[in-house]
Amino acid sequence: MIIEKNGFIHHVYFWLKNPESHSDLEQLTDGLVKLSKVKTNQQFHMGKPAATRRDVIDSGYSVSWLLLFKNKEDQDSYQVDPIHLKFVEECAHLWSKVVVYDTVDI
């Protein structure tokens, strides 16, 4: 994974309302696969908490979603893309909490 200068990283963590529900997890991950088709997205990674345990690790989330964009403008475009808006409409009922970490170069 190469991040170009002025690149924009968008990392989202989802906490499912029903974390034991395989159906809810599948619906969310299917939605994220569709969401990966947004044109301004360069790369994505979908993950679950790793089996690591240390005091500094928060593994309470259900799914993480990492996206790489060329720049902030491409990420801004992603936020209003119809595919993104449809994802939120169809999947928002599945999660109880979402936390986003956006980063840019230092």
pTM assigned to the model: 0.91
Query: Which residues, other chains included, contact 101 with Cβ-Cβ below 8 Å and sequence gap of 6+?
Result: 9, 11, 12, 13
Q: Which CATH topology does 8-104 take? A: Alpha-Beta Plaits (3.30.70)
Instruction: Look up residue 11 and give its amino acid.
Output: H
Q: Token pair for residue 69?
A: 């964009």
Judge whether 67 and 94 are in contact, CB under 8 Å: no
pLDDT value, residue 3? 62
Per-residue pLDDT of the chain (106 residues; tens, 9 = 90+): 556 677 999 999 999 999 999 999 999 999 999 999 999 999 999 999 999 999 998 899 999 999 999 999 999 999 999 999 999 999 999 999 999 999 998 8
Q: Token pair for residue 98?
A: 């979402």
